[in-house]
Chains A and B, each alone.
Chain A
Amino acid sequence: MRGPHRRGRFGEFGGRFVPEALVPACEELEAAFAVAWADPTFRARLDDLLEHYGGRPTPVTECGRLGERLGIRLLLKREDLAHTGSHKLNNVIGQALLAERMGKRRLIAETGAGQHGVAAATAAALLGLECLVYMGAVDVERQGLNVFRMELLGAQVRAVDSGSRTLKDAINEALRDWVATVETTHYCIGSVMGPHPYPYMVREFQRVIGDEARAQCYEMLGFDPDVVVACVGGGSNAAGTFAGFVDTHARLVGVEAAGGAAMSNGVAGVVHGMRSRFLQDEAGQILEAQSISAGLDYPGIGPEHAHLGTVGRAEYPSAGDSEVLAAFRLLAETEGIIPALEPAHGLAWIIREAGKSIPEGSAVLLTLSGRGDKDVALVRKLMQ
């Protein structure tokens, strides 16, 4: 995928809609990222940490039993096996190194499921940075174990009690913090969202998923997959995955939660620093997303996805809670892998479409963006 156009635009989407106080910091970050990304020393340090600390490259696993059942070849890109249990580490290691380069020793982050918060806390511990994580009060409750993890890692977690008390409000609160502390603080955004350069920068930090998977799939299959699937909250694991396949013939599919389907049900708007698509009412008030998966509980989507969907290069269907739970259980039973609820959305879509819009015998790659440990307590409750 290409870089954004003038002023951080992907087509009509993107941009930098932030309070004046933050404009210089976004410009500084844009410049620092451009220099670092072209600097072999920075890249070598990042690659080294991703390999020896993060456990990269993550494998691609072919699911024989489940694939047979569905009549397709099903491959999983195993981000669940990366350190901290999700793809989020790829991005935070990059941003933490960048913060260090910019002389900013305090990180703030928002988190939904807690995976980005845990990853940010981890990177902060690794580099000796201070870390404060904003998390909606609802999410603090449903992802209690991750709160404790962040605290063990030396981060402070602040529950956000405003608005819908989920991810969108955690982002609001992190932005408010940043407006006051921007001179000493780096806002480590957890997905391909926010003002330019975040959507572009986070996608570049996550493209390691797609670049690795492209080579791994080719080695296993002898050709590129026919369908490439990832779940979409803000869209970082999907953007990183798609980056590796956008120039192939693969059908690119980003699966949203039915209750947070910004592509199906949202309209163009400007929130959280970016022009994209958002669930909103007639007046422009943002609506609350609703999903069993805290990581997909976001009423918007990253601007590059809004663009890819608009021009038709990728498609963005959604999956509902009950088919997601069924997919979650099926992967555990047939393959011995307990997925996070987020990528279980991708699997639910594959199960629904196999033999329909996914022709029999197709090779399908799903990015398994995280492991399910954080969700088992919730799933247990839902099953009872």
Chain B
Amino acid sequence: MTAGTTPVPGVLEKALRDRRDAGRKLLIAYVTGGLGRDWVEIVRAIAAAGADAIEIGIPFSDPVMDGPVIQRASAEALHSGATPFGIISTLARADAGVPLAVMTYYNIMFRAGHRRMARTLADAGVSGAIVPDLPLDELDGWGEEADSAGIETVLLVAPTTPDRRLRAICARSRGFVYGVGVMGVTGERQSLGATALTVAARCKEETDIPVVIGVGISNPEQARDVVAVADGVVVGSALVHRILEGAGPDGAAGFVAELRAAIDL
């Protein structure tokens, strides 16, 4: 794709745009794939409770962008035998009713082979992919195969990203732009500080595709604060933490419903 051409929005971007343009704030929930026997039921339950899209973590042995909660969830899922293609084939039958994006580390894509992974995801009905250790400059191989399979590769913007680079990332990101709200890895935070809003505002100024802030958002109040500027939020560790504690589909859905209510206010 040459710079400057506007790609036709994919399933993920279109769904998020339509909802945003209708005045709705976006809620994306993260669930670790293969964690517990009921993880697919949890996916369905949180979709029904108001998540606009769901990120499915494909666990990796060395998750350097993740804090203790998602590290533990990944280790437990791997320990119980979760594999990338096992998770993806389960997603093919998930019937969640909202777009799905996988979130994993690049070695998983690389080992599988770019084309094989992109096509398998597309065949399973997955719309997007988030690969936090694959920055813009290294995107080539995966990016091309993902584009041609119709998988939307969501890129991340960090608080340290300089303006010119931020512009290039927003232009290349598909599905949405993932603004990292804090300096640090995934995990719950008592307070978010100003960076989340600053990152959101900087991205919003650059792009019309949905801007969603993630990392650190832990409760309904924080979510509500962030959507004052951003189009939406990703909630990961706070949900996975509850799943690890045995919340089950009902408990997970209850928490998502609380988040939904807070950002709908």
Contacts and interface: CB of A to CB of B under 8 A. Distances in A.
Interface of A: 7, 15-21, 23-25, 162-163, 168-169, 172, 175-176, 179-183, 267-273, 275, 278, 280, 282-286
A181 B135 CA distance: 19
B160 A21 contact: yes
Contacts, number: 118
A144 B92 CA distance: 50
A100 B132 CA distance: 29
Interface residues of B, number: 42
A271 B62 contact: yes
Contacts of A284: 60, 84, 107-108, 110-112
Contacts of B137: 7, 16, 23
Contacts of B108: 283-284
A280 B111 CA distance: 9
B144 to A, nearest CB: 16
Contacts of B180: 20-21
Contacts of B67: 176
Contacts of B84: 283-284
Contacts of B201: none
Given A19-B132, A24-B161, A269 B138 contact: no
A163 B137 CA distance: 29
Could you say which of A19, A180, A268 has the most chain B C-beta atoms within 10 Å of its C-beta?
Answer: A19
Contact of B62 (A19, A163, A179, A275): A163
Given A7-B137, A20-B158, A179-B65, 19 more contacts: A7-B138, A17-B106, A19-B65, A20-B132, A20-B161, A21-B160, A23-B158, A23-B160, A25-B160, A168-B62, A175-B64, A179-B184, A180-B183, A270-B110, A273-B133, A284-B60, A284-B107, A284-B111, A285-B60
A270 B132 CA distance: 13
Contact of B133 (A19, A180, A182, A278): A19
Given A180-B184, A183-B183, A284-B112, A17 B158 contact: no
B83 interface: yes
A283 B135 contact: no
Contacts of A183: 160, 183
Interface in B82-138: 83-85, 106-108, 110-112, 132-138
B156 interface: yes
A156 B165 CA distance: 35
Given A21-B160, A162-B71, A286 B110 contact: no
B185 A176 contact: yes
A178 to B, nearest CB: 9
30 contacts: A16-B135, A19-B64, A19-B65, A20-B161, A21-B159, A21-B161, A21-B180, A23-B158, A23-B161, A24-B161, A162-B71, A162-B75, A163-B62, A163-B75, A169-B62, A176-B64, A180-B185, A182-B160, A183-B160, A269-B111, A271-B107, A272-B62, A280-B107, A282-B111, A283-B83, A283-B84, A283-B111, A284-B84, A284-B112, A286-B61
Contacts of A20: 132, 135-136, 155-158, 160-161, 169, 180
B259 to A, nearest CB: 24
Given A20-B156, A23-B161, A269 B110 contact: yes
